[in-house]
Structure 1
Amino acid sequence: MIAQDDPIASAAPDDLIAYAWALASQPTAADAPGDGARSALAAQLKAFLAAERAAALAALDAGASAPVLAKRLAAAHDLALQAAFAFAERRAVDLKSAQDRLALVALGGFGRAEMAPFSDLDMLFLTNKAKPSPWSETLTETILYVLWDVGLKIGHAQRGLDESVRLARGDAQILTPLLEARAIAGDADLAATLFTRIEAETIAADAGAFLASKLAERDARHEKAGASRFLVEPNVKDGKGGLRDLQTIVWILRHAYGEAGIETLIKRGLLTAREVARLRLAERFMWQIRFWIHALRGRADERLTFDLQPEIARRLRFRDGGGLSSVERLMKRYFLAARDVGSLTRWACAALEQDFAKSPPRAFGDFVAKAMGRLPGGIVLRGGRLDFEAPEHERKPDRIMALFAAAALRGYDIHPAALSACARNLPVIDDASRGEPKTVQYFLSALTAQRAPGQSLRRMNEAGVLGRFLPEFGRIVGQTQFNMYHHFTVDEHTLNAIEVISDIDNGRCVKEHPLASSFIHSIRNRRALFLAMLLHDVGKGKGDQQAEGARAARAACLRLGLPEDEADLVAWLVGRHLLMSDTAQKRDLGDPATITTFAREVGSIERLRMLVVITIADIRAVGPGIWNGWKGQLLRDLFRLTEAALRGGRTDSGEIAQILDDRARAARRALRAQVSNETAAQLRAEFGNSETAYWLAFDAAAHVWHAREADSM
């Protein structure tokens, strides 16, 4: 047991390894409770790591780079593990044979020397034998006990050299962390042998299968963390467009080419130097956020939740401005970074996938394109993806827009090289091209396509083309609202809404939305409907959202060359897109004044139908669980009452009151037809004089249930 005044009871960081060795050398009394030496070492290591963590966070607050600090924390943990290894090695010295060898190998993020303040430690206890010896088992156990006493969360495995290589060859999940492994302590030659064999026996072996495995893992991870990269409480590490997506592309490159680092993307012609620089900027920003999440939580956590966003915005020195709060500016910056990570890594992975699959040459793609018929704007099909017919087309705005029109009309995905070319050539989309008839025609074809407008618009947004062509939309890209109602960024919400309309249009929502499904094909101006949905939130962050949005939408439509009456219709829909939900949910639909006011505002059945579709799509696109049957019933009731008033050609209070009374009488008759004569007589006595509002507020099934409950009392 270590005495309190023992000269080796404490140590400076530089002496930790010697201190650990000395502690392990001290004799322990047979009757001493617990393991005093191990406890003393754990306390020293815990204090050391806490001090290193505090120093890193102080540097972070002063503006230091989080990736640099991540390496500093990894180095501190290296030293702690080396001290634990020295302690365990000294303790087990009597058990070691001449043949025993063991190396402590860092894996995963620890292997990359990247650690957030409370990251887990993943490691391999590598032995030279198929079965662990008493020495290696004791060594491993002692190290783990020390680390657990420190409070570290450890992921570990103990394997022999041959088993490690064999498992890595057959399992991509085991191979992946070994691609970035490094030796921490123990037998350096044994670790080097492992790295050499991994390099020789797994690198470039079946690169296509490894890529497919990593992409499948990525998709499953995205599904678990949230399928959209634009969730307003994103997972910075595992979410779509997060740090793990960057790590995935590095793993794929390491396995395929034996080269580390995302700069390999430049060397292999997969991305440009400017695109890789964008990835580096995004990575640094996400690491800054991740560090602060850990610091403020005091534990490992990867979600940028609402409660943390204001403090992290303050720590990163964001300020209110441009109509956005500091939090909204932080989140906009984050989502633009996530878009860069998501789009650029997707393009690179798609290019690698096509390369590994030995895709057919360009001439074959041209042959397929001719066989399937001429695509608009000189677009061809290569390897199952749409591409520009010639390199010079990449710099022509009408051909860029033709690419997305073809994707929407035909349902094909777009070649990653073509998307990358679009992003690189955004400056060619200028004021002149925004009103050029052919370019506008292709854009409107993509927007209103029957097959897949949502997917095409997402690709357009991913490449930056949508916001460049429609500056009104560009200002809401990555924009959030700091509240718990909205689940997505404004642009993602808008594209979700477009997809809802497309689903209704294609008959996929008949059960959920029978009313909208029944008349959507009767709407005469499909173009105005889709434009209004695309532009419905462009006024957010500019004062009166609906009024500002209407002005911006009208200007955009006139620039696109729409007639003034159509531009006015789009502006009206944008300026009133909340009118129907507010009226249905916040007003008394049994009050004639409510229906009168609403009918006068709407003015026509065409507008009423368009407003129903936009309202449904807007609510559904907010997020899961927002739409429900109650909201649907309210909208249907408001529609039918307003439609009756508009068909009658009168919107005065007296006419509306008569319509409401007629519907109430019909509801009474329907109820009497479903109950016994005795109950019907009682109903006339008890419900005969009920207000019209009661009969309009509930459906027929509810009326029957109320009547039978009253009859049983």
Structure 2
Amino acid sequence: MSTVLEHEPVAPRLSLREEFIAAREAVGSALPEDPRGGALLHRFGERIVERITPACALAVGRAGSRFGKLAIVVFGGLARGEHCPYSDIDLTVLCTEPGQEGDEAFGEWIREFTHPLWDAGLRLRTTVQHPEGWLEAAAEDLSSCTALLDMRFLAGDRQLYDEVGDEAHRRFFGPQRASFLQRLLDEQGLRERRFGTTVYQVEPDLKFGPGGTRDISVFEWALMARRSRAEPWDPAKVESAIRASGVPRRVARLLTEARDTILRLRAALHLVAGRTQDRLNFQYQEGVPELLGRVRPGEPLSADHRELVEAIEACMQDYYQAARDIQRHGGRVVARCQPPRIRADIDQRIDERFHALDGRLRHYGKGRFAESPVLCLEALALARDHNLGLSGPTFDVIVEAVMAIPAGDERLANDPEAQARFVDLLIDPADVGSPTPLELCHEVGLLQRLVPEFAASRGRMQHEGLHVYTVDQHSLYAVEFLKSIARGDHRKDFPMATAVHLSVDDPRPLYMATLLHDAGKPFGDQCAEGARIAGLAAQRARLDEDAVTRCAFLVEQHQTMPMLSQKRDLTDELQIREFAELVGDRRTLDELYLVSLADMANVSPEYLTSWKLTLLDELYLRTAAEFASSRRRETTARRPREDEPEGLPLRYYSLFDQDLRREHRQLLDRLRESPQRRVLIDVAEGSGALRLTVVTPDHRGLLAVLTSCMAERGLEVMAADVFSVPFYPRIALDVFRVVPRDTGATLAALGANGRPSSEWVVQLERALVDALVHAPGAEALAEPMPPLPGRRRSKTRRRSTKVRFSQDPGGSRTIVDVETFANAGVAARISRSFAALDLDIEIARINTEMGRVDAVFYVSKLDDEQRDALAKSIRANLRTRRG
């Protein structure tokens, strides 16, 4: 009799590469349902460790005793249980005698150990450390020190690992941790200088940005350094570890939840990108909601993709809340991990409610803030006046008091004392620090209680691609910029603004309008709704009727000066007169100029160029002159000197300084004296671009030929100002700001002294001459150009070409505004459309920045048929290939 044993089929064992792919897929599958990002990545990390440990043990076995004592350890995110799907794996081979049999043998052993892991798709950062060398390096190098703190044993000599860990703890951690903690804080300060101090960025860095995973690591390292060597770090018990530091239970819970949110979001970012990725750029924001379960896979979207936009907004709101909690409370954990001080600090009494201890404002008693929320504003003012930070407990009671105010309760908004204290914070130029008292007022939720309509701006994204901050942070930075102007911090960079601010007698309407200039964005019509909100806020703040009206006007018109200065002919007296009539008086002009400047200066670090500032200043000066005496036009007109070009419009003499005007005159004279020369150029290094001046006989279609040649030579036109000297023969004087499209071209263009090389200038001049000789004829110009290269299609941020027409105040010229995405040769393609219709361009202004082109052209008055033909030609020349 025999027994037949039936066995279930055994699943084939996955290869190492397949195992890691499956582990990543498991993370993606769990993300929509599991909000605990920390636990999710801990499981993922354990799976990775489980698979690489046998390879480490095998490698140790192969080494035997050839290299002395040897241990393989892992540190970083994998050791702390925070390893993201595509993060690097930090391995260290701890070895006492790596050179015993020669470097070649040891190097071969390392390759045999690591290459299979690389082949399996892991990104390894492998280092070799001698025990004492690692300890010595840790005294100077913070990354070496943190690696000693969070390292985790994988294989090899456990005693060697323990000895190094024990010695590191004796030297740097435990009772000796004060120096290490200070190094962490110093490094954090360096990161803040590089990545900023606000979490409210529209494309945040989830690792190094404020409130990112590196800030999580900082408070975790502080907790590890505080513990004894016998207490290993347990990623599954982060909340209890935080609570053990002494912070309140609520803070421990908030930090744990925030850590989960950031880690979950970073895991989703890795999976969307398919690689290591730290910055949450717009292109990746569109894929994150589906992975997090906020958009159903394959679900059809409406034409305007509103569902996706709302899902992105929700994900970003989760990020801002979590990053803010980490930034707000992580420092409190680090402070609680400091060793006890030998000397007690002096307790300084301020009044019956507050005292100062250890450089921080503390409060007496409990319950007062909830009973009287105005006390929260008083605490912020006292901290400012006494140059103190807020203590953790005082910060907590302020937050709790604000949170206790029921939704829709406007007691603070309608409280005269609260409004008076708020306005004091708003306009005080001594409002400095990081965060400033006004930012702190917003951080704890007070600002939205004082101005309820501002709540919708909190953490609100700006999708147009120019802004790098959310609506609320951009507005706060604009106010901060005005205060720095008031203090004279920018008297060299912004002398006009500094002088204008000195003449402001009542700063309240100015600062209220600056704070609320974008408050209408969440409600549809940005300017109209913003004006309504600003008027309400000014009334609550008990401003007089004239100040309320002015505050609303400043918000309603805050985009007018930037638009006019960059897109209109500032020498058109009717245009200036019309703007002056809109503004009404000099005081309002001063305020509108300052609001406009503060707005432009805080769109992004690169947005406010010297060119834009010059134009804004010119519009201000010309309008101020309009408000001046009856002889204003005679006294402000700029007349050419004998050594400057003659017959050019007034805007030419406003745009260029005296030295440049002299250089232009020399180029014009040289061309007249040498009729055989077709082109003369001058190239100089400018601010972030090359300044290219072209002098050549003028004819229709010239701008199209010049810009097309530049595009072929790898030069991207960032801005252009074109002029025609009217005397016979007419000579074109065109000034371009161009940027080489690649680093190689930049190096070729610039010589050792930072100026363009003479050889490169000669080559460019020859290319321009050749382009003029072979300029396309009328038939060729009428044919649409080949499509531009296709761009990655974005569901939420597609930019179509827009062509708008208007007329100047005199009614004699048509103004053509073109907005499109940046691409190689865009300026040439737009200019070609004018040449195809035989239209003579009087004024051209082309501005390229941050992926967008804004071009403005003045031409003789066009009828409807000509407008339609021109718009059709421009769109045809700017079409892109599909796919």
TM superposition score category, shorter chain reference: 0.7 to 0.9
- The alpha carbon displacement at 1:530 in A equals 1.3
- SS of equivalent residue, structure 1 residue 538: coil
Match 1:413 to one of 389, 412, 415: 389
What does residue 336 of structure 1 align with?
321
Deviates more, 1:610-619 or 1:129-138: 129-138
- Alignment of 1:238 with 2:195, yes or no, is no
One-letter amino acid of the structure 2 residue matched with residue 387 of structure 1: R
Tell me if the contact between 1:230 and 1:489 (Cα under 8 Å) persists in the aligned partners: yes
Residues 278-309 of structure 1, C-alpha deviations (whole Å, 9 max, x = no match): 22222222222212222222221211112111
Residues 256-283 of structure 1, C-alpha deviations (whole Å, 9 max, x = no match): 244653533333332x322322222222
Q: 1:500 to 1:453 in 2, by over 3 A?
A: same
What does residue 451 of structure 1 align with?
430
C-alpha distance in 1 between matches for 2:250 and 2:660: 63
- SS of equivalent residue, structure 2 residue 550: helix
C-alpha distance in 2 between matches for 1:388 and 1:705: 67
Deviates more, 1:556-565 or 1:511-520: 556-565
One-letter amino acid of the structure 1 residue matched with residue 176 of structure 2: D
C-alpha distance in 1 between matches for 2:126 and 2:448: 47
Q: 1:574 to 1:453 in 2, by over 3 A?
A: farther
Structure 2: any 5+ residue segments left out of the alignment?
A: 1-9, 296-304, 672-883
Q: 1:349 to 1:460 in 2, by over 3 A?
A: farther
What does residue 278 of structure 1 align with?
254
- Alignment of 1:585 with 2:543, yes or no, is no
Residues 640-659 of structure 1, C-alpha deviations (whole Å, 9 max, x = no match): 222222235xxxxxx8xx85
- The alpha carbon displacement at 1:227 in A equals 4.8
One-letter amino acid of the structure 1 residue matched with residue 319 of structure 2: Y
Q: 1:585 to 1:138 in 2, by over 3 A?
A: closer
- SS of equivalent residue, structure 2 residue 74: strand
- The alpha carbon displacement at 1:539 in A equals 1.0
- SS of equivalent residue, structure 2 residue 319: helix
Which structure is higher in strand share? 2
Match 2:175 to one of 175, 186, 205: 205
Match 2:59 to one of 88, 104, 110: 88
C-alpha distance in 1 between matches for 2:399 and 2:271: 36
- The alpha carbon displacement at 1:131 in A equals 6.2
Q: 1:564 to 1:122 in 2, by over 3 A?
A: same
One-letter amino acid of the structure 2 residue matched with residue 709 of structure 1: L
C-alpha distance in 2 between matches for 1:555 and 1:513: 31
One-letter amino acid of the structure 2 residue matched with residue 102 of structure 1: L
> Within 5 Å, which residues of 2 pair with 1:341-380?
341-350=326-335, 352=337, 356=340, 360-361=344-345, 364-366=346-348, 369=350, 378-380=353-355
- SS of equivalent residue, structure 1 residue 68: helix
Deviates more, 1:602-611 or 1:477-486: 477-486
- Alignment of 1:490 with 2:471, yes or no, is yes
Residues 583-626 of structure 1, C-alpha deviations (whole Å, 9 max, x = no match): 21222222233212211211111111011111111111112121
- The alpha carbon displacement at 1:494 in A equals 1.4
Query: What is the RMSD computed on CA atoms of the aligned residues?
Result: 3.3
What does residue 641 of structure 1 align with?
622
- Alignment of 1:108 with 2:88, yes or no, is no
What does residue 535 of structure 1 align with?
516
Tell me if the contact between 1:343 and 1:462 (Cα under 8 Å) persists in the aligned partners: no
What does residue 56 of structure 1 align with?
27
Residues 117-171 of structure 1, C-alpha deviations (whole Å, 9 max, x = no match): 11111123335x5667659887655322333343433233444556656765776
C-alpha distance in 2 between matches for 1:663 and 1:559: 44
What does residue 292 of structure 1 align with?
268
- The alpha carbon displacement at 1:390 in A equals 4.6
One-letter amino acid of the structure 2 residue matched with residue 313 of structure 1: P
- The alpha carbon displacement at 1:49 in A equals 1.7
Residues 402-443 of structure 1, C-alpha deviations (whole Å, 9 max, x = no match): 122234445443334322332232135552233323322222
Match 1:251 to one of 221, 241, 246: 221
What does residue 117 of structure 1 align with?
85
Q: 1:347 to 1:473 in 2, by over 3 A?
A: farther
Q: 1:588 to 1:317 in 2, by over 3 A?
A: farther
C-alpha distance in 1 between matches for 2:510 and 2:560: 16
Tell me if the contact between 2:207 and 2:213 (Cα under 8 Å) persists in the aligned partners: yes
- The alpha carbon displacement at 1:78 in A equals 1.7
C-alpha distance in 2 between matches for 1:484 and 1:629: 21
Match 2:125 to one of 141, 155, 163: 155
- The alpha carbon displacement at 1:500 in A equals 1.2
Q: Give the fraction of aligned pairs with identical amino acids, expressed as a percent.
A: 28
> Within 5 Å, which residues of 2 pair with 1:497-536?
497-536=478-517
Match 1:569 to one of 524, 527, 550: 550
- SS of equivalent residue, structure 2 residue 174: coil
C-alpha distance in 1 between matches for 2:653 and 2:97: 80
> When the two structures are superposed, what TM-score results if normalisation uses the length of structure 1?
0.81
- Alignment of 1:387 with 2:362, yes or no, is yes
Tell me if the contact between 1:589 and 1:697 (Cα under 8 Å) persists in the aligned partners: no
Q: 1:277 to 1:308 in 2, by over 3 A?
A: same
C-alpha distance in 2 between matches for 1:171 and 1:512: 38
Deviates more, 1:202-211 or 1:105-114: 202-211
- SS of equivalent residue, structure 1 residue 419: helix
- The alpha carbon displacement at 1:487 in A equals 1.2
- SS of equivalent residue, structure 1 residue 269: coil
C-alpha distance in 2 between matches for 1:323 and 1:584: 36
What does residue 326 of structure 1 align with?
311
C-alpha distance in 2 between matches for 1:12 and 1:485: 53
Which structure is higher in helix share? 1
What does residue 714 of structure 2 align with?
none
Q: 1:423 to 1:412 in 2, by over 3 A?
A: same
Aligned residues: 637
Q: 1:200 to 1:523 in 2, by over 3 A?
A: closer
One-letter amino acid of the structure 2 residue matched with residue 605 of structure 1: R
- The alpha carbon displacement at 1:481 in A equals 0.7
One-letter amino acid of the structure 2 residue matched with residue 710 of structure 1: L
Deviates more, 1:233-242 or 1:139-148: 139-148
C-alpha distance in 1 between matches for 2:284 and 2:527: 30
C-alpha distance in 1 between matches for 2:638 and 2:257: 64
- SS of equivalent residue, structure 1 residue 183: strand
What does residue 38 of structure 2 align with?
67
Tell me if the contact between 1:125 and 1:158 (Cα under 8 Å) persists in the aligned partners: yes
- SS of equivalent residue, structure 2 residue 490: coil
C-alpha distance in 2 between matches for 1:400 and 1:359: 31
Residues 660-692 of structure 1, C-alpha deviations (whole Å, 9 max, x = no match): 5x367x422xx23x53xxx8xxx6xx62xx555
C-alpha distance in 1 between matches for 2:56 and 2:325: 42
Tell me if the contact between 2:419 and 2:450 (Cα under 8 Å) persists in the aligned partners: no
One-letter amino acid of the structure 1 residue matched with residue 348 of structure 2: D
What does residue 866 of structure 2 align with?
none
One-letter amino acid of the structure 2 residue matched with residue 180 of structure 1: D
Tell me if the contact between 1:323 and 1:541 (Cα under 8 Å) persists in the aligned partners: no
Match 1:126 to one of 94, 97, 101: 94
C-alpha distance in 2 between matches for 1:359 and 1:587: 67
- SS of equivalent residue, structure 1 residue 344: helix
Tell me if the contact between 1:130 and 1:159 (Cα under 8 Å) persists in the aligned partners: no
What does residue 434 of structure 1 align with?
413
Match 1:462 to one of 443, 455, 458: 443
- Alignment of 1:604 with 2:585, yes or no, is yes
- The alpha carbon displacement at 1:401 in A equals 0.3
What does residue 26 of structure 1 align with?
none
Tell me if the contact between 1:105 and 1:126 (Cα under 8 Å) persists in the aligned partners: yes
